[in-house]
Amino acid sequence: MEVDKGKGEAEETRKVAEADRDTVTLKSSDGKLFEVSKEAAARLSTVLAGMIAGGSIDDNGTDLKQIGSEALENVVDYCNKHANSIPSAALISSSISFNTAPFKEPEEWERKFVDRLSHDALFDLVEAANFLGMERLLDVTCHKISEMMKGKSPDQIREVFNIKNDYTKEELEEIRQELAWAFYDD
172 binds another protein (CB under 8 A): yes
Q: How far is the CB of 143 from another protein (least distance, A)?
A: 5
Q: Contact at 8 Å (CB) between 118 and 67?
A: no
49 binds another protein (CB under 8 A): no
Q: How far is the CB of 25 from another protein (least distance, A)?
A: 27
Rg, C-alpha atoms of the chain: 20
> Which helix (H) or strand (E) is 35 found in, with range?
strand 33-37
Q: How far is the CB of 151 from another protein (least distance, A)?
A: 8
Q: Are strands 33-37 and 23-27 parallel, antiparallel or unpaired?
A: antiparallel
- Main-chain dihedrals φ then ψ at residue 43, nearest 5 degrees: -80, -35
For the segment 127-156, give every residue that binds another protein (CB under 8 A): 127, 130, 138-139, 142-143, 145-146, 149-154
| Distance of alpha carbon 155 from alpha carbon 153, whole angstroms | 5
* Closest to another protein by CB, 83 or 148: 148
> Order of strands, edge to edge, in the sheet holding 33-37?
33-37, 23-27, 62-63
- Judged by CB under 8 A, which stretch of 45-53, 71-79, 85-93, 166-174 contacts another protein? 166-174
Q: How far is the CB of 113 from another protein (least distance, A)?
A: 17
The binding track of 96-115 with respect to another protein, each residue x by CB under 8 A or -, is ---xxxxx------------
